[in-house]
Amino acid sequence: MPYSTLYDFHGESVAGGSIVIVCVGSGEAEGSIVCVSTGALVSVWEERREYVYSVHIIMKLRQPFDLSAMNDMYQDVMVVEEEDTLGYTIIDAIIYPETIFAFVPSSYPLNNLNNELLSFTEPGISANYSPEMQAAVLDIVESAKNDVEAVETILSWTEKNTSLADLPYQPEIFYFSYVYKDQVFLRNPPDLSPTRMLNDLFYANSMFEKRVHGTCCSTATFKCGMIKAAGIPCKTIQTLFPIFSHKDQTEPYENNLNRTWGKKFENQPSGKESWWANHCFMEVYLGSQWIRVDNNINIYHDAQEWLSIKIISVADLTEVDFSRTYPVDWIYNRPYYTLLVEDQEPIH
* Mean per-residue pLDDT of the chain: 83
| Chain segment 305-334, per-residue pLDDT in tens | 889 999 999 999 989 888 767 666 667 778
Alpha carbons 200 and 197: distance in angstroms, whole number? 5
DSSP structural state of residue 317 = G
Predicted confidence (pLDDT) at residue 258 exceeds the cutoff of 70: yes
Predicted confidence (pLDDT) at residue 164 exceeds the cutoff of 70: yes
294 CB contacts (<8 Å, ≥6 apart)?
220, 281, 282, 301, 302
Helix (H) / strand (E) element for 150: namely helix 147-161
Alpha carbons 24 and 40: distance in angstroms, whole number? 13
Predicted confidence (pLDDT) at residue 207 exceeds the cutoff of 70: yes
What percent of the chain stands above pLDDT 90? 57
Average pLDDT, stretch 38-48? 74
pLDDT, residue 186, reads 65
Pairing state between β 20-23 and 7-10: antiparallel
Bin 101: left if φ > 0, else alpha if -120 < ψ < 50, else beta: beta
Q: Provide the pLDDT confidence category of residue 18 given band limits of 50, 70 and 90.
A: very low
* DSSP one-letter string for 80-137: EE---TTSEEEEEEEE-TT------PPBSS-----HHHHHTTS--SSS---HHHHHHH
pLDDT, residue 7, reads 26
Alpha carbons 30 and 27: distance in angstroms, whole number? 8
Higher pLDDT, 19 or 114: 114
| Chain segment 290-312, per-residue pLDDT in tens | 999 999 999 998 888 889 999 99
Higher pLDDT, 147 or 271: 147
Please say whether the structural domain 101-348 has been given the CATH code 3.40.50.300.
Answer: no
Predicted confidence (pLDDT) at residue 25 exceeds the cutoff of 70: no
Higher pLDDT, 150 or 184: 150
DSSP structural state of residue 200 = I
